[in-house]
Amino acid sequence: MTDINVLVVFHSRTGRTEKLALTAAVGAVQAKANIRLRWLREAADDAAIESAPEWKENRQRMEKEYIAPREVDAAWADAIIIGTSGSPPELQDYLASLGVLGSAGKLEGKVGAALSSASIRASAAHEKNGALLAALAQLGFIVVPPGSQSEALERARLQGRRITEVARALKGAGLAG
Amino acid sequence: MERVKIASMITIRKNQERGHADHGWLNTYHTFSFASYHDPAHMGFRSLRVLNDDRVAAGRGFGAHAHRDMEILTYVLDGSLVHKDSMGEKRTFGPNTVQAMSAGTGVVHSEFNASETEPVRFLQIWIEPAVRETEPSYQQIPFDPEEKHGRLRLLAAPKEAANGHAAALYQDAYVYAAVLGSGESFKQALAPGRHAWVQVARGDLAVNGQALAEGDGAAISGESNLCFAGAGPHGSEFLLFDLP
């Protein structure tokens, strides 16, 4: 079986998107992928974080448990899954850093997907993800849309599986970079 | 009819022959090949695939990573660990507890030193399952330290034998812990066709007369009786693996 590397990059304040990212990673592992989980460190100022105890606690914990995505992670990955709630500036910064790699042709043939954090209807999730999926397509990713499962965690798990299977099929066919 | 005699054999794996990596936050010894330590002559023993002796600095640990199709046991010697996984478990545990994660179809987990001030030392054990693609599960079983004093305390066994008292494994393997004071001893039978691995966690031990020091391991085949004796000034704490 072709070895597939899946990078899961997420932005999470309360831990909800982190849970979705972990679940997507489990789905990828179930499809026999190697995984890396990376956290987009928040750029918010300290005063704002200090004022929200839950945010502060989660941030301190995640700071300990995860490292930020590095250029080598994107280079290593056959597929990248991005999980965010909305479109925070940290995501824009990360997409810009991917843009640099994309311009150098280093994202050619890689597969991209987006997780939606809220437990919302699949159709609404698609809408929210539209902009991110379009941005990934622009960077040169082959974009895999999420499935239609109504439950967010199950959707994330199946998406992890699906992105792995798509990346494996592409690689097997010699279409991946 | 002539009977085939299986030669009895004890092969010692010395502490200092193990793979070693010191990353500052993690000081680890690998009895068998693991991570960047690769030795084709030491890829495991029977279904015992990994036996790591880890020391993790205060507040540090292993971030989220994945496992598949592996029975993973953790046995803390000093300090405490906090475990978190994709099944929703978040648990802290210390010595005199067996923690078992059956990875099956796949889990993602992290493990950190639970203390911000003290280091943690633990043995991490991977046993290859006899069945693949099982549902992942987590078990944590504490016990009274008296139960391992001068006798074997079962840590893990096949489900029917574990009986809620030890961690259930998808492998016909029995894992025990014991503490023997200097000069104390006991015997344990090894059934025909079974193999044993002995790992010394602390102190000095003699197995069938062979001296083992802290960090040493021994592969035993073709023996029907194992005699353990605490040696040195303080005796020993050790693990015994009875394997198919």
ipTM of the complex model: 0.86
With bands split at pLDDT 50, 70 and 90, how would you rate the model's confidence at A174? confident
Q: Give pLDDT tens digits for B195-236.
A: 999 999 999 999 999 999 999 999 999 999 999 999 999 999
Q: Which domains does chain B have, with CATH numbers?
A: 9-243 (2.60.120.10)
The A residues from 44 to 103 touching B (CB cutoff 8 Å) are 64-67
pLDDT of residue A131: 86
Residue written as token pair 């001068």: B150
pLDDT of residue A48: 83
pLDDT of residue A126: 62
Measured N-to-C along each axis, helices A16-30 and A152-172 cross at an angle, to the nearest 10 degrees, of 40
pLDDT of residue B235: 97
Nearest-neighbour CA in chain B from A19: distance (Å): 8
Q: Which domains does chain A have, with CATH numbers?
A: 4-172 (3.40.50.360)
Query: Which residues in chain B have their CB less than 8 angstroms from residue A65's CB?
Result: 61, 63-64, 84, 110, 112
| Positions in chain B whose pLDDT score sits under 50 | 1
Which letter, b or e, does each residue of B176-197 get, where b requires 16 or more Cβ atoms within 10 Å of its Cβ? bbbbbeeebeeeeebeeebbbb
A66 with B63: Cβ contact below 8 A = yes
Residues contacting B67, CB < 8 A, separation 6+: A29, B101, B103, B106, B107, B109
pLDDT of residue A122 exceeding 90: no
